[in-house]
């Protein structure tokens, strides 16, 4: 279900609105998500110094990645648990919503049997990529770890899951660019950099790459709106599973009663 009323928003703000960007993709055999990879590809094209292939990673509640090679091929999929497990662990065991900066995790140790239990999940071993939600992975039981060791282990799982999922890509990424709240967790970022270095890859925050890690998704929707107006593709076979690249979205004019569909 699409949240929001595009025509109403256009009338109330006096600004033209592009909305309902997923429906056309789904009508052509796609899953309707993810949509941000088209913007990641535009950002990748602006990189002046980066080793290819490049992988954009958003660490939100669930982590997802976008792979772009030097020939412009785009692949994208969810890569595993992001901040959700850590946030749930902290809420239950410390009464706080998250581990700010990874401070609690930095005082713990990785419990490898617990970490491997997560990383042996069938999601990482099957060749078929699929979308995840918060219920696919559950936090440890309170008696399985202390506060600090639990946070440390889950931070490691978040980082290791990204690299394990990257193993399904055609070639190992050589540059990882990290956005989302997880980039502010120094423990996750340290683990990610250490594991990526084993394959010769470099890990950068969005800011280190010259981007705004807090605004990437907001910027992406504005970019997609312009692509919709220009009838350019929003989704691709390697991102949503759509049969061929397709555009999408509907345009609501601020001075019109009814929207006109973007073909």
Q: pLDDT tens digit string along 21-41?
A: 999 999 999 999 899 999 999
Helices and strands, counts by H and E, the chain: 11, 8
**Model confidence, pTM:** 0.91
- Residue 49 has a pLDDT of 80
Give which of 52, 58, 20, 17 is closest to 37, Cα–Cα: 58
CB 70, CB 55: distance < 8 Å: no
How does pLDDT run across 55-107, given as a tens digit for each residue?
Answer: 999 999 999 999 999 998 999 999 999 999 999 999 999 999 999 999 999 99
Average pLDDT over residues 226-252: 96
Q: How crowded is residue 231: how many other Cβ atoms within 10 Å of its Cβ?
A: 11
Average pLDDT over residues 132-154: 92
- 255 against 9, higher pLDDT: 9
How does pLDDT run across 97-124, given as a tens digit for each residue?
Answer: 999 999 999 999 999 999 999 999 999 9
- Residue 133 has a pLDDT of 77
- Residue 257 has a pLDDT of 54
pLDDT at 134 over 90: no
- Residue 2 has a pLDDT of 57
Which strands, in side-by-side order, build the sheet including 17-19? 17-19, 250-252, 260-261
- Residue 94 has a pLDDT of 96
- Residue 66 has a pLDDT of 97
Q: Is 71 exposed, middle or buried (0-12, 13-18, 19+ CB in 10 A)?
A: exposed
Q: Where are the beta strands (DSSP E) in the chain?
A: 17-19, 54-59, 62-68, 74-81, 175-179, 202-205, 250-252, 260-261
- Residue 263 has a pLDDT of 44
How does pLDDT run across 168-184, given as a tens digit for each residue?
Answer: 999 999 999 999 999 99
CB 95, CB 176: distance < 8 Å: no
Bridge partner residues of 251 (DSSP): 18, 260
DSSP reduced 3-state for 126: coil
Give which of 101, 77, 248, 67 is closest to 174, Cα–Cα: 67
- Residue 3 has a pLDDT of 73
Structure tokens at 212: 């705004």
Confidence at 15, pLDDT banded by 50, 70, 90? very high
- Residue 139 has a pLDDT of 94
DSSP state of 173: -
């Amino acid at each position: 279900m699409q949240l929001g009323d595009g025509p109403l928003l256009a009338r109330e703000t006096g600004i033209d609105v592009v909305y309902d960007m997923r429906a056309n993709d789904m009508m052509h055999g796609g899953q309707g998500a993810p949509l941000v990879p088209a913007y990641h590809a535009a950002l990748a094209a602006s990189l002046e110094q980066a080793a290819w292939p490049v992988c954009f990673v958003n660490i939100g509640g669930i982590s997802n990645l976008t792979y772009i090679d030097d020939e412009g091929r785009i692949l994208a999929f969810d890569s595993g648990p992001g901040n959700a497990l850590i946030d749930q662990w902290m809420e239950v065991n410390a009464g706080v919503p998250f581990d700010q900066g990874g401070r609690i995790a930095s005082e713990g140790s990785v419990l490898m049997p617990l970490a491997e239990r997560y990383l042996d999940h069938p999601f990482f071993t099957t060749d078929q990529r699929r979308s995840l939600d918060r219920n696919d992975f559950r936090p440890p039981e309170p008696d399985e770890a202390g506060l600090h060791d639990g946070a440390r282990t889950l931070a490691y799982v978040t980082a290791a899951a990204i690299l394990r999922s990257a193993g399904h890509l055609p070639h190992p990424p050589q540059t990882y660019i990290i956005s989302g709240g997880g980039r502010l967790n120094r423990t996750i970022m340290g683990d990610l950099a250490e594991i990526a270095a084993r394959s010769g890859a470099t890990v950068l925050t969005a800011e280190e790459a010259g981007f705004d890690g807090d605004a990437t998704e907001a910027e992406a929707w504005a970019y997609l709106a312009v692509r919709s107006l220009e009838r350019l593709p929003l989704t691709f076979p390697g991102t949503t599973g759509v049969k061929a690249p397709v555009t999408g979205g509907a345009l609501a004019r601020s001075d019109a009663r009814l929207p006109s569909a973007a073909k």
